[in-house]
A = this chain, B = another copy of it.
Amino acid sequence: MPTEYYATGADVRAACRRGQWTGPTPGLALGYVQANLVVLPREWAFDFLLFCHRNPKPCPLLDVTEPGNPEAQLVAAGSDLRTDLPAYRIWRNGELEGETDNILRYWQDDFVAFLIGCSFTFENALLAAGVPVRHIEQGVNVPMYRTNIPCRPAGRFSGPLVVSMRPLLPAVAVKATQICSRFPRAHGAPVHFGDPATIGIRDLNQPDYGDAVTLRPGEVPVFWACGVTPQAALASAQLPIAITHKPGHMFVTDWKDADLEGQ
C-alpha cells in the first residue's frame, strides 16, 4: 500500500495494528506529531518521570499512561501502544534482546508508557520555512552524538545528553532557533552551535548514532537535544525489562504539529 494512504495518525496506527505497516514513520501522516516510546515497570516509573521532568529538552513528555493501561488517552484516544507502532525493541538488564512488531506477549499489568516529543515536528516547521535539513536532503539518518554534558540524574537514571546535528549558515541558524523555540515539546531551541569539542564531540564525521552529513562552506554545526538521550539513560539503569520503539519507527499521535506550538 502506498504511504500516501496513511493520511492521519489514526491511519498509521491502524495499519500497524493490522500488521500492514512495519516500516519507518518519517513522511507518514505529515503534520501529525510523532513520538518516542519508553515502556517500563511502575516501580521505575517515578524515577523516569522525574528524569524527564528534570531534562525537558531531551525528554519533552507528551503523554504518560496509567499503570497497566496501554492506551495513550491524551494524544491518541482509542490507541493501543502494544500494537500501534511499526516496530519495538525489547531491553533486558540494559541489553538489547531483540525487535518485534507488537508487544502483546511482553505486556505486564504494571507497565507505564511514556511518549516523548520528537524532532520530526520541528523539522517539518523548518522545511516549511525554507530552512534546509541536510540529512533529509542527503537521504540518511540524522547524525547524533553523545556529549560531555551530563543530564540531571533522577533516582537510578543518569547519563550524557545526546544531541542531533544539522549544519546551517549562521543567519539561517538564527532563524532555525526562532522556529524551534516555538516547539519546546519537540526539543525546542538548539543547545549549542559551533565548535563540537566544546561539548565533548571529537569528530563530526563519526556520529555515535545515525549517519554523518556534509558541512558546506560557511556552515556551522547546530546541535539540538535528542530523543535518544532517554534510551542512553535506560541502558545505564539496567532495568530488568524495558521496551522502546525501534529508532525511526515512531508512534504517530492524533495531535497536529501546530498543537505543540508554544506548549
Contact of A46 among B46, B54, B154, B181 (CB under 8 A): B46
Residue of chain B at shortest CB distance from A50: B64
A66–B262 CB distance below 8 A: no
Q: Mark A37-53, 1 if CB is under 8 A from B, else 0.
A: 00000100110011001
A152–B74 CB distance below 8 A: yes
* Distance between Cα atoms of A102 and B50 in the complex (Å): 26
B46–A53 CB distance below 8 A: no
CB distance from A145 to the nearest CB of B (A): 25
Q: Mark A49-62, 1 if CB is under 8 A from B, else 0.
A: 11001100000010
Interface size band for A: 10 to 19
Q: Mark A149-160, 1 if CB is under 8 A from B, else 0.
A: 000101100000
A64–B53 CB distance below 8 A: yes
Contact of A54 among B67, B74, B152 (CB under 8 A): B74
B53–A42 CB distance below 8 A: no
Pick the most buried of A50, A74, A262: most chain B CB atoms within 10 A of its CB: A50
CB distance from A34 to the nearest CB of B (A): 20
